[in-house]
């Protein structure tokens, strides 16, 4: 079966393109054309209901939730529950980022637990196996890495974050720059840099980039060009090391499309608010408007414990300026492995932030629910309000637990409720003789 990109190039509108068009309220041929141009990628789940998700230009900003074990906390059942909670709470995609335990088994268990498109970072397992086998990540065999990538694609990964943009040139920029306030914050990126330095060799994922593309294209797995030198502190944002990797990733994104591989570019983690728009403009212009997957982003470094809120501010600005996929941040970010409730909070917060941005990015369409909620709130139509809220069950629970003594309004203002007191007089005022209004 042809890939989405190959089908688009031969003027075939696939079933998946039709699903995306219906979901987004757009014409199927517009979706096909943007897939052909690399401005939209289409991901799909491999098992269960096989959810189809479009990411890119003119589409609603999507939300990714990340789960996965660590060497400190490794419980497969917990990760499966987190995956299910992420889907039930409204995540569009899932990244399985386990770095401890039986990684092949964990991957397959998670894949079968959800209908979402699931992605991963193959370098995690590759370096874990090198450590287990040789006691040293620098002894990773590149051939074993490519074999692993293909095996993971065959298992059903819908997309992969692969660190192809780290090369000797980007490392030279980092060295000549001579500083990094936040150091390196990408696990896979840091281990690849160590591998390159110890082996005095080029990154095999960059050196054999065509091979990467050919493997992923075979399975129609989307290439997400990872940013291994991303800023881990707002004072590192837009530094030369990070920007050299972004430039290279945008170039590789174009090359991937030419080899028949759907691709998107990953964005930085820590960006001050006034640099978010510039970052997105650069990525979009250099990549030919390829989908941009942003991690957070976090516009301050002092919000630990509340970084889901920090990231929500960054995510709303990112969505507004054209980012296409947002990786959620949970309250546990920078502090510990998220638990199930952290996942739930992270997804909800990111969804709300993305919608705030979409009101601007998709002006005239994304805000229609907001308009209807406002009308129904003014008319005390509680049930209709709940039908259009992002989180109706949460809202209902608060209303019921703090029921007003009056049966109409909520308990915030009681008898001083502005909507209740204005209901009659405002209608009379708006429909009355405006000439009777004094200008004094």
CB neighbour class for 411 (10 Å; exposed up to 12, middle 13-18, buried from 19):
middle
> Taking the mean position of all CA atoms in its chain, how far away is CA 243?
20
Give me the tens of pLDDT residue by residue for the chain, a chain 440 residues long.
579 999 999 999 999 999 999 999 999 999 999 999 999 999 999 887 789 999 999 999 999 999 999 999 999 999 999 999 999 999 999 999 999 999 999 999 999 999 999 999 999 999 999 999 999 999 999 999 999 999 999 999 999 999 999 999 999 999 999 989 999 999 999 999 999 999 999 999 999 999 999 999 999 999 999 999 999 999 999 999 999 999 999 999 999 999 999 999 999 899 999 999 999 999 999 999 999 999 999 999 999 999 999 999 999 999 999 999 999 999 999 999 999 999 999 999 999 999 999 999 999 899 999 999 999 888 888 889 999 999 999 999 998 888 766 666 777 777 777 777 766 556 666 666 555 544 43
CATH code matching the domain that covers 38-361, chosen among 2.60.40.10, 3.20.20.540, 3.40.640.10, 3.40.50.720: 3.20.20.540
Q: Give the Cα separation of 255 and 219 in Å (integer).
A: 18
Q: Where are the domains of the chain?
A: 38-361, 368-436
Report the b/e string of 285-295 with b at 16+ CB within 10 A.
Answer: ebbebbbbbbb
Q: Give the Cα separation of 405 and 13 in Å (integer).
A: 56
Closest alpha carbon to 114 in 140, 141, 137, 88: 88
């Amino acid at each position: 079966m042809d890939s989405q990109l190959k089908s688009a190039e031969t003027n075939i509108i696939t079933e998946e393109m039709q699903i995306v068009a219906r979901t987004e309220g757009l014409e199927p041929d517009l979706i096909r054309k943007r897939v052909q141009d690399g401005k939209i990628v289409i991901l799909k789940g491999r098992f269960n209901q096989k959810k189809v998700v479009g990411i890119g230009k003119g589409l609603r900003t999507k939300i990714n939730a990340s789960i996965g074990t660590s060497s400190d906390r490794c419980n497969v059942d917990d990760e499966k529950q987190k995956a299910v909670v992420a889907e039930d709470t409204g995540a569009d995609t899932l990244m399985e980022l386990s770095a401890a335990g039986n990684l092949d088994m964990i991957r397959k268990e998670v894949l079968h637990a959800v209908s979402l498109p699931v992605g991963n970072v193959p370098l995690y397992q590759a370096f874990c196996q090198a450590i287990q086998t040789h006691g040293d990540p620098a002894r990773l065999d590149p051939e074993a890495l490519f074999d692993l990538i293909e095996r993971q694609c065959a298992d059903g990964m819908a997309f992969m974050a692969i660190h192809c943009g780290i090369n000797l040139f980007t490392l030279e920029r980092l060295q000549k720059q001579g500083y990094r306030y936040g150091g390196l914050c990408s696990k896979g990126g840091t281990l690849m840099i160590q591998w390159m330095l110890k082996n005095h060799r080029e990154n095999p994922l960059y050196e054999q980039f065509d091979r990467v593309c050919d493997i992923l294209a075979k399975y129609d797995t989307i290439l997400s060009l990872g940013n291994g030198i991303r800023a881990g502190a707002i004072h590192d944002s837009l530094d030369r090391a990070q920007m050299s990797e972004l430039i290279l990733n945008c170039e590789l994104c174009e090359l991937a499309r030419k080899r028949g591989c759907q691709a998107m570019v990953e964005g930085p983690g820590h960006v001050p608010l006034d640099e978010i728009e510039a970052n997105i403009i650069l990525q979009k212009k250099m990549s030919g408007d390829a989908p941009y997957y942003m991690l957070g982003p976090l516009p301050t470094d002092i919000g630990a414990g509340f970084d889901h809120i920090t990231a929500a501010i960054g995510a709303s600005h990112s969505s507004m300026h054209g980012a296409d996929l947002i990786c959620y941040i949970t309250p546990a970010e920078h502090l510990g492995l998220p638990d199930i409730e952290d996942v739930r909070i992270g997804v909800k917060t990111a969804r709300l932030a993305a919608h705030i941005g979409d009101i601007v990015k998709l002006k005239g369409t994304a805000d229609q629910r907001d308009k209807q909620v406002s009308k129904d709130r003014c008319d005390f139509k509680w049930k209709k309000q709940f039908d259009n809220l992002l989180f109706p069950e949460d809202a209902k629970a608060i209303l019921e637990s703090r029921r007003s003594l009056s049966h109409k309004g909520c308990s915030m203002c009681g008898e001083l409720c502005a909507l209740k007191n204005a209901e009659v007089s405002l209608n009379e005022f708006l429909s009355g003789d405006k000439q009777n209004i004094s200008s004094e």
